[in-house]
Amino acid sequence: MTKTVDPNLDKSKIKNKHFLTLDTYSKDEIEYLVQYAIKLKDLQKKGIPHRYLEGKTLAMIFEKSSMRTRVSFEAAMYHLGGHALYISRDEISMGKRETISDTANVMSRFVDGIMIRTFGHHIVEELAANASVPVINGLTDDYHPTQVLADLITIYEKTGKFAGNKLVYVGDGNNMAHSLLFGCATVGIDCTIVTPEGYEVHKDIMEKAEEKAKKSGCTVYQTTDAAEGLKDADIVYTDVWASMGFEDSAEERKGVFRNYQVNEDLVKNANEDYMFFHCLPAHRGEEVSAEVIDGSHSVVFDQAENRLHAHKAILAALLAD
């Protein structure tokens, strides 16, 4: 089998072996992945083959289900010439039927990379610590770095820059809020997190983001005042009020978050040409009104499409020879 080498890929630009959180990625690394993803996207749009992972295999472990993550990673591997293997929670029982370290060692003998979507972030960390192949975090309770890389691609495509933009996230201080803080602070996007009292982001994550923001010359901020937070926003972002694994508190959260819905009244505080982002799936009438998510400011489907190109960039950068 003759392998195709990507002339656009400079593996020396990526120092990380794994893709677990954006916290460990430098500004140069993230910006390189964004630009590389845009190049791969251009090849796809032009119908130019880019089978840079010919003969490579990716194990996809889904302890949390996801349509977007599964389809985009499978399609990414197909476009790159490789093959993806779907593994459900019932098939693997990681940490129960077999230790995480044993799973990592066995998987490393079978495949060239592992993508996992799971609950506790410690599972991803232990898997990566024991695997001899790259591990990609498709989502944990604490982080969603692949989504935020797609978001950064979208921001750059729409505005042509990172610095000078202000992103405001409204909702639960969850994995999306954590990864947005790291991503924005690293590349120089001002980031404000708006949450109800008691649902703020983790203190240690906020402190790390503040340190990153100082280095890149931007600001990160947290408030419970939605109107104040949205002032001068270029990007308004929200997520479901009860993330996967927190369904038991969904009804309670509806009461707590009712004044934090992104609707036409709230976005009047943002810039007139603001863009609306949502990582999807969305619950119209809860975290966002139909008028906003289906309106002219919404770019949620462009954002969703970029999951494919973000994943292709990560896979090629980590798995290519």
Is 239 assigned a catalytic role?
Answer: yes
SS3 content of the chain, % helix, strand, coil (to 5): 45, 15, 35
Is residue 279 annotated as involved in ligand binding?
A: yes
Is residue 43 annotated as involved in ligand binding?
A: no
CA triplet 216, 218, 224: central angle to 5 degrees? Answer: 140
Is 147 assigned a catalytic role?
Answer: yes
β-strand partners of 194: 170, 223
Q: Which of 50, 278, 297, 307 is catalytic?
A: 307
Is residue 67 annotated as involved in ligand binding?
A: no
Is residue 117 annotated as involved in ligand binding?
A: yes
Let me know: does 261 contact 282? Beta carbons within 8 Å. Answer: no
Q: Which of 79, 147, 172, 278 is catalytic?
A: 147
Is 144 assigned a catalytic role?
Answer: yes
Is 191 assigned a catalytic role?
Answer: no
Is residue 101 annotated as involved in ligand binding?
A: no
Q: Please give the full DSSP string across 107-141, using - where no structure is assigned.
A: HHHH-SEEEEE-S-HHHHHHHHHH-SS-EEEEE-S
How far, in whole angstroms, is CA 277 from its chain's centroid? 12
d(CA 269, CA 281): 25
Q: Which of 121, 151, 239, 261 is catalytic?
A: 239
d(CA 142, CA 145): 10
Tell me if residue 270 falls in helix, strand or coil: coil
Is residue 196 annotated as involved in ligand binding?
A: no
Q: Which of 184, 191, 218, 279 is catalytic?
A: 279
β-strand partners of 137: 116
d(CA 220, CA 271): 18
Is residue 69 annotated as involved in ligand binding?
A: no
Is 117 assigned a catalytic role?
Answer: yes
Q: Which of 79, 117, 178, 311 is catalytic?
A: 117
Q: Which of 18, 50, 79, 144 is catalytic?
A: 144
Is residue 144 annotated as involved in ligand binding?
A: yes
Rg (CA), the chain: 19
Token duo for residue 257 = 């978050």
Cis status, amide bond into 7, omega within 30 of 0: no
Q: Please give the full DSSP string across 207-249, using - where no structure is assigned.
A: HHHHHHHHHHT--EEEES-HHHHTTT-SEEEE--SS-TT-GGG
Task: Indicate which residues carry an active-site annotation.
Answer: 117, 144, 147, 239, 279, 307
Question: Which residues are annotated binding-site positions for L-ornithine?
Answer: 175, 239, 243-244
Question: Which residues are annotated binding-site positions for carbamoyl phosphate?
Answer: 117, 144-147, 279-280, 307
Question: Which residues are annotated binding-site positions?
Answer: 117, 144-147, 175, 239, 243-244, 279-280, 307
